[in-house]
């Protein structure tokens, strides 16, 4: 049966999804019969439990929700809004990011599985309340198998619109003192603790007096700089929006560096807090830092880059382990009843986990990225068996 309208209660699940998606909007995707089998052969398909394509003509919503695993609990992960050039690229991103969320949630010891939503569109110009309400209906129709939150291109304000249609949403604006709201500062806190642990492991000392090069000074990078400066680190900062970098320099006495040359800077720690894939065959050879530890998701362009870092004598803090502070915050908010102190205590466990990974990687002479993936898969498998 072909569902012509993805939202309004008629959803398209994995086996029929590309067909139904092509059916409702043939102009932007492959023909239904051409794409019917492609999902399962895409390189990023990894035994995902469910993939849902959502379409709502009145609001213009085109979205993909990928549920990678619910072995540990409902699949949680943010909703990204991005002008994907094609529906296939949106699908690929949803598949990749949702698996990343399974790993992240497993390593953060949360009772949550991994999922992710992507909305096709330009966040700066195409947002409307109706769009996010339609997205909320899509989430609602999954009956709690997927819990959404803000991500790149979406805000706590957008999530308030989503909340008009579903309760399966977190990361909402809260009053002072309450758990919730923008997860950026909590992510920054976890990254800060993680940097301290990585420096202790690799350099055998405290952060004070060391230089940290921070790439990206947004919702995570800026509060991270405040924590680093308060701990006595020297900062070199770069942001594609120069005024942000200038502000951090003025506020914290940091040194402004170029976005192109930040990789070459003399620094002890390189903290990527902007984009993914910044650690690649071109940049790793340029790094002078002996520790890479930052918030950005998917920092390694390819799995082999984890090995390249190890061979270069650089300790890499796996991104989804060190940047789990935000999802820890979101999880506590969603469950309700937690205090800020409890959230902080959960975030304080991030450095312990990282140290475990660093030790195992050293013992086995393997990249930290590989060890983290293996540990996450072990936890997922144990949950499936249990
Ligand atoms: P954001 O969008 O608030 O800030 C990103 C900053 O990077 C912006 O100021 C932007 O101008 C800058 N930037 C973009 N391209 C750059 C370049 N080539 N060089 C230098 N700066 C550049 O994003 P946010 O929330 O701070 O997140 C940063 C990273 O951390 C992202 O990769 C995000 O996926 C990841 N992350 C964020 C979490 C959160 O709680 N916000 C949670 C986990 C991961």
CATH of domain 14-163: 3.40.50.10860
Mean pLDDT of 348-376: 98
Q: Measuring from each residue's beta carbon to the nearest atom of ligand 1, which residues come in under 6 Å?
A: 152, 183-184, 187, 215-221, 238-241, 244, 259, 273-275, 295-297, 323, 326
pLDDT recorded at residue 171: 77
pLDDT recorded at residue 2: 28
Q: How far apart are CA 386 and CA 380, in angstroms?
A: 10
- What is the pTM assigned to this prediction? 0.87
**Would you place residue 183 in the very low, low, confident or very high pLDDT band (cuts 50, 70, 90)?**
confident
CATH topology of domain 184-325+335-341+349-381: Rossmann fold (3.40.50)
Domain with CATH 3.40.50.720 in the chain: 184-325+335-341+349-381
- Which atom in ligand 1 lies closest to the alpha carbon of residue 238? 20
Catalytic residues: 116
Domain with CATH 3.40.50.10860 in the chain: 14-163
Q: Are 284 and 314 in contact (CB under 8 A)?
A: yes
By most ligand atoms within 8 Å of CB, the mutation choice from 96, 108, 220 for ligand 1 is 220
- Which atom in ligand 1 lies closest to the alpha carbon of residue 217? 9
By most ligand atoms within 8 Å of CB, the mutation choice from 235, 274, 298 for ligand 1 is 274
H-state helical runs in the chain: 17-24, 32-35, 87-107, 129-141, 156-163, 184-203, 221-230, 242-252, 304-311, 319-322, 325-335, 340-347, 350-364, 368-385
Q: How many angstroms separate the first and last alpha carbons of the chain?
A: 35
- Which atom in ligand 1 lies closest to the alpha carbon of residue 259? 19
Mean pLDDT of 228-234: 98
Q: How far apart are CA 231 and CA 234, in angstroms?
A: 9
Calculate how far, in angstroms, residue 355's C-alpha sits from the geometric centre of ligand 1: 25
Calculate how far, in angstroms, residue 32's C-alpha sits from the geometric centre of ligand 1: 36
């Amino acid at each position: 049966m072909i569902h012509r309208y993805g939202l309004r209660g008629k959803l398209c699940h994995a086996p029929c999804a590309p067909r139904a998606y092509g059916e409702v909007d043939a102009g932007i995707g492959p023909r239904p019969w051409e794409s019917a089998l492609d999902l399962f052969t895409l390189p990023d398909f990894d035994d995902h439990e469910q993939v849902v394509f959502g379409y709502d003509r009145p609001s213009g919503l085109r979205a993909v929700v990928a549920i990678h695993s619910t072995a540990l609990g409902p699949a949680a992960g943010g909703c990204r809004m991005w002008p994907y050039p094609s529906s296939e690229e949106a699908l690929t991103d949803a598949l990749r990011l949702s698996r990343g969320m399974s790993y992240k949630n497993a390593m953060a010891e949360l009772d949550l599985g991994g999922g992710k939503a992507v909305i096709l569109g330009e966040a700066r110009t195409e947002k409307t309340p109706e769009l996010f309400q339609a997205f909320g209906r899509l989430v609602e129709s999954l009956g709690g198998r997927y819990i959404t939150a803000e991500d790149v291109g979406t805000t706590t304000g957008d999530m308030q619109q989503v909340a008009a249609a579903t309760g399966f949403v977190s990361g909402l604006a809260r009053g002072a003192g309450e758990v919730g709201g923008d997860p950026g500062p909590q992510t920054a806190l976890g990254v800060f603790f993680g940097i301290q642990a990585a420096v202790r492991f690799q350099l055998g000392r405290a952060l004070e007096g060391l230089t940290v090069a921070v790439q990206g000074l947004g919702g995570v990078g800026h509060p991270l700089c405040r924590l680093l400066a308060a701990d006595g680190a020297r900062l070199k900062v770069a942001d594609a929006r120069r005024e942000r970098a200038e502000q951090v320099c003025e506020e914290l006495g940091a040194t402004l560096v170029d976005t192109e040359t930040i990789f070459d800077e003399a620094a002890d720690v390189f903290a990527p807090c902007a984009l993914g894939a910044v650690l690649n065959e071109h940049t790793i050879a340029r790094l002078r830092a002996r520790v890479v530890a930052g918030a950005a998701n998917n920092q390694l362009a390819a799995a082999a880059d984890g090995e390249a870092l190890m061979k270069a004598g650089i300790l890499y803090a796996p991104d989804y382990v060190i940047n789990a502070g935000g999802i820890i915050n979101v999880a506590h908010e969603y469950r309700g009843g937690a205090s800020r102190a409890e959230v902080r205590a959960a975030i304080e466990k991030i450095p312990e986990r990282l140290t475990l990974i660093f030790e195992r990687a050293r013992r086995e002479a393997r990249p930290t990225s590989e060890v983290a993936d293996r540990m996450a898969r072990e936890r997922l498998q144990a949950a499936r068996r249990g």
